[in-house]
Amino acid sequence: MKNKKSKRPLTVGDYLIGRLKKLGIKHIFGVPGDYVLRFYDMLTRSDIEVVGTTREDCAGFAADAYARMKGLGAVCVTYCVGGLSTTNAIAGAYAEKSPVVVISGAPGMAQRQLNPLLHHRVRDFSTQREVFERITVASTALEDPSRAFEDIDRVLNAAMRYKRPVYIELPQDRVLSVPQQRAVRKPEAGAGDADVLAEALDEAGQMLRSAKRPVILAGVEMHRFGLQDELVKLSEQSGIAVAATLLGKSVISESHRMYVGVYEGAMGRESVRRFVESSDCVLMLGAFMTDINLGINTANLHTGQCISASSEQVRIRHHVYQDVSLGDFVEGLISAKIRGARRKHPTAAWAKLRKYSVRPRARITTDRMYQRLNHLLTKDTVIIADIGDALFGAVDLVVRERTEFISPAYYTSMGFAVPAALGAQLARPDLRPVVIVGDGAFQMTGMELSTIAARKLNPIIIVLNNVGYGTERVIWDGPFNDIYDWQYHRIADVLGAGLGFEVNTEGELEQALNAALENTEQFSLLNVHLSVNDHSQALNRLSKRLASQVRPTSGGKK
């Protein structure tokens, strides 16, 4: 088959790049290495822009955020030392259903003759692929050119169908291989059974129409499968209010009249908890109920009152329907024109912004900082929250538009936020990231600001500096939770780019935020000094629950 642009034969590398481009990939993140340099050279001559990062795990986090904003992300690294460095980020993407394509270079097939001890090799030549098979939904090693096009299609189709990461291993001497047969793309297999769908919709419809106190609980898959508009239409048409899981936060605008709030069991707002748990029919759409989503198992939802639809199955009470597409199920509910019982819900009570007046000399606290940030957000910002109080305090921020809140709220890997800002802003340059990150997480991956500075991006980075791992302290305190206190605001001087601010008081926070908003040509970093014992209420509730599970018991007493 010919390459349409150059009229030369279509190589394996050409085909892979072409398929990525057709799926909307405009940037690919990674770190080069000798086994992947030939493919890197091909990428630089394509329409896909290579974004070099400081570390491979940062490339994975950036690609994850890119996928959450754009529908698909990609990372390209070298064999083992590069690929295995991405595994934590890719594991998180798998756990939270974020479709990232991992492309790894590998030793050439000719180099493997007589089983030599080549550099970067761990055990066998298949070791890295076997690792990724456990944390991806599909994988392939493009060792046989005659199957390469078919394998690329199979793997990429799986990424789009299941919204989870996939793995493609590319031996360096196969990049320019030309398969002898013509590339014939097979259509993606259908994901639904019409008869099963009709039966599921009939049972769900009966349950929703007879309910006196229904509610919709929307989760992460509504983001991943682009079903936000359908969710709004279903809610408005049926009159059934919407709550979101923690991982599903911002699935619709949080100022929408039908929005209730984030449901997270006893961790969340009491008004939201009561509204959801008093419902006699909970329509869970695209939600998978993790321990964090369930408020560390403090949620009180009864299976007999739930309709749960995900990309994998529909469960209604105790009945399970396989081979039903989530999108088809939601569209079917809309077509059924179900009218639910209308209920007064707590939207207005919580979504109204609390008045904030600066007390210039007052020491800044977590609660006051989040109050101020709520007045900072607009439809042109995206919140990126790392783990700990960066996440739990940010739950109460009112997100103006859909899919403008990103956090690894299930896998909860520290160090996500700063590299995620890189991926998010390249995916959606119309949005300005406001990044909230603890000092411990920042010390892990914060120097990805180097790439952000090089590309002249302008996120606002807020470092919550309590000189340690705040979440762990309230679970089980000890010197192991303390970290060295960096002068984070001086990192801009080290990089020779960006602006840094040291914040101790509300007045200094106000000045720093105003200056950061005006600094649109580069990043801004706020070093916000917080008391060691200052935590959000959500973190206090969560930590007490976790502490009861972590601490040993003695004589039956905690």
The encoded tokens of residue 332 equal: 């079917």
In the chain, what are the domain boundaries?
12-171, 194-349, 353-547
Q: What is the mean pLDDT of the segment spanning 248-258?
A: 90
Please, what is the end-to-end C-alpha distance for the chain in angstroms?
70
Phi, psi of 69 (to 5 degrees): -90, -30
CB 1 within 8 A of CB 9: yes
pLDDT at position 116 is 75
Phi, psi of 267 (to 5 degrees): -70, -25
Residue 291's pLDDT band (cuts 50, 70, 90): low
pLDDT at position 312 is 83
Q: Say how far apart CA 177 and CA 144 lie, in whole Å.
A: 9
Q: Say how far apart CA 488 and CA 310 lie, in whole Å.
A: 42
* 322 DSSP assignment: -
Indicate whether this model's pTM tops 0.85. Answer: yes
CB 106 within 8 A of CB 79: yes
> Which helix (H) or strand (E) covers residue 129, if one does?
helix 127-133
Q: Say how far apart CA 506 and CA 529 lie, in whole Å.
A: 11
Q: Given a cut of 90, is residue 538 above it in pLDDT? A: no
The encoded tokens of residue 185 equal: 């793309």
Q: What is the mean pLDDT of the segment spanning 143-168?
A: 96
The residue whose two tokens read 């070791």 is: 127
Assign 420 to helix, strand or coil: helix
Q: What is the mean pLDDT of the segment spanning 412-439?
A: 97
Q: Given a cut of 90, is residue 415 above it in pLDDT? A: yes
Q: Say how far apart CA 558 and CA 548 lie, in whole Å.
A: 7
pLDDT tens digits, one per residue of 345-375: 776 444 556 788 999 999 999 999 999 999 9
The encoded tokens of residue 506 equal: 């509300």
pLDDT at position 6 is 59
Q: Say how far apart CA 110 and CA 89 lie, in whole Å.
A: 31
Q: Do 353-547 and 12-171 fall under one CATH topology?
A: yes
Q: Given a cut of 50, is residue 556 above it in pLDDT? A: no
Residue 535's pLDDT band (cuts 50, 70, 90): confident
Q: Say how far apart CA 469 and CA 438 lie, in whole Å.
A: 8
The encoded tokens of residue 526 equal: 């706020």
pLDDT at position 421 is 98
Q: Say how far apart CA 287 and CA 264 lie, in whole Å.
A: 12
Neighbours of 443 (CB within 10 A): 17
Residue 4's pLDDT band (cuts 50, 70, 90): low
Q: Say how far apart CA 511 and CA 152 lie, in whole Å.
A: 52
pLDDT tens digits, one per residue of 178-211: 998 665 666 555 556 889 999 999 999 999 999 9
pLDDT at position 558 is 38
* CATH topology for the 12-171 domain: Rossmann fold (3.40.50)
Assess if CATH 3.40.50.1220 describes domain 194-349: yes
What number of residues does the chain have? 558
CB 170 within 8 A of CB 103: yes
pLDDT tens digits, one per residue of 15-53: 999 999 999 999 999 999 999 999 999 999 999 999 999
**CATH ID of 353-547, from 2.170.150.20, 3.40.50.970, 3.40.50.880, 3.80.10.10:** 3.40.50.970
The residue whose two tokens read 């990805």 is: 448
Q: In what order do the strands lie in the sheet with 166-171?
A: 49-52, 27-30, 73-77, 100-106, 166-171, 138-141
Which residues does 107 contact at the CB level (< 8 Å), separation at least 6?
A: 35, 79, 118, 120, 121, 125, 171, 172
pLDDT at position 550 is 60
Query: CA of 245: how far to CAs of 285, 293, 395, 470, in Å?
Result: 10, 6, 10, 24
Q: What is the mean pLDDT of the segment spanning 52-67?
A: 98
Q: Say how far apart CA 121 and CA 135 lie, in whole Å.
A: 20
- Rounded (5°) CA angle 402-412-510: 60
What proportion of the chain, given as a percentage, has pLDDT over 70?
A: 89
The distance of Cα 272 from the centroid of its chain, to the nearest Å, equals 24
CB 209 within 8 A of CB 235: no
pLDDT at position 509 is 98
- For the four alpha carbons of 77, 83, 89 and 94, in that order, the dihedral sign comes to positive
CB 89 within 8 A of CB 65: no
Residue 72's pLDDT band (cuts 50, 70, 90): very high
